[in-house]
Amino acid sequence: MQHPRCAVFVDAGYLLAGGGYLYCNITDRRYIQCDYGGVADAIRQAAQNHCGYPVLRAYWYDAAPGGIPQQDHKRIASLPYVKLRLGRLVEGRQKGVDSLIVRDLMVLARERAIVSAYIFGGDEDLREGVREAQDMGVHVVMMGLRPSTHARAAETLVQEADENVILGDDYLRGFFTAAPPAPVPPPVPPPAPADPVAVGRAFAQSWRQEATEQEILTVVQNPRFLPVDIDRRLLSFAQESAGPLHHQDAFKRAMRTAFVEALAAEVPPAADAE
């Protein structure tokens, strides 16, 4: 006969918002350091102490850009008796986390794997999942820290649950600290302005390898009137290093002159005289 067990469902965003504010007076998770292993053990222990049943495991829910685990997520995934679930982070907001919680709650309830569920979260979207789990015989408890404007469970969710357990203010205190400010990187020096002569010569060297003798002579003998297709390619080549060339007439004139002079330097004198 299977012994009764419970499970813990932790919304990391809700946890960090509540713990960061309560213990560090910080709500931005980028500036909060959390001992995730210690927190997971403490919450599992609180659940076990409350119901008297062993904990099957803790399910840990968070979001990441593209659903790709970050370093913190990899550390959490390696913790014993912790199962990581990741939604997506879109414009700074969690997407899909609540549906993951409801999915796991439904599976465990349907398979009769647990008799009690402890949800460390507060979004109203969980309410329907709580109700369905209760219909399948699961005792559902909302668990959290002292409510604040930054981490408060929806009133309808609290009303739907069988119990609402608020952990003491000191229960998770040792697991949260303010993160040191990230070092400010040195300013990036502005790129050196491109040299029109160097650009013109570089394009001449590249274009010369594919041009015919007649095409080169045409350019050299008419330096003030570059063929349109060649001039367009020269400008495109220059923009790769110099950026947009709007209103940079002096740059373009110097670059065209350097291009023609570089070609002329390679034309044999006899051919130049014809």
- Residue 253 contacts residue 234 (beta carbons within 8 Å): no
Q: Are residues 94 and 157 in the same domain?
A: yes
What pLDDT does residue 248 have? Answer: 83
Classify the C-alpha dihedral 88-94-98-104 as positive or negative.
positive
Boundary-marking domain end, from 178, 205, 229:
178
Between the two ends of the chain, the Cα-to-Cα distance in Å is: 105
Are residues 166 and 55 part of one domain?
A: yes
Q: What is the pLDDT of residue 124?
A: 93
The Cα 251–Cα 240 span in angstroms is: 14
Work out the number of other CB atoms within 10 angstroms of the CB of residue 183: 6
Q: What is the pLDDT of residue 42?
A: 97
Which burial class, exposed, middle or buried, applies to 88 when counting CB atoms under 10 A from its CB (0-12, 13-18, 19+)? middle
- Residue 255: closest CA among 174, 205, 201: 201
**What's the pLDDT score for residue 192?**
56
* pLDDT for residue 272: 45
pLDDT < 50: residue spans in the chain = 1, 271-274
User: No. of H helices and E strands in the chain?
Assistant: 11, 9
DSSP state of 24: I
User: H or E element: which one contains 117?
Assistant: strand 116-120
pLDDT at 271: 46
120 and 211 inside one domain: no
- Cα separation of 208 and 233, whole Å? 13
- Give the model confidence (pLDDT) of 125-173 as tens digits: 999 999 999 999 999 999 999 988 777 899 999 999 999 999 999 999 9
Domain CATH code at residue 45: 3.40.50.1010
CA 248 – CA 146 distance, rounded (Å): 63
- Total domains in the fold of the chain: 2
User: Is residue 183 in a domain?
Assistant: no
226 in the same domain as 112: no
Whether 11 is in a domain gets the answer yes
191 within a domain of the structure (yes/no): no
Domain assignment of residue 243, given as a range: 196-273
186 inside domain: no
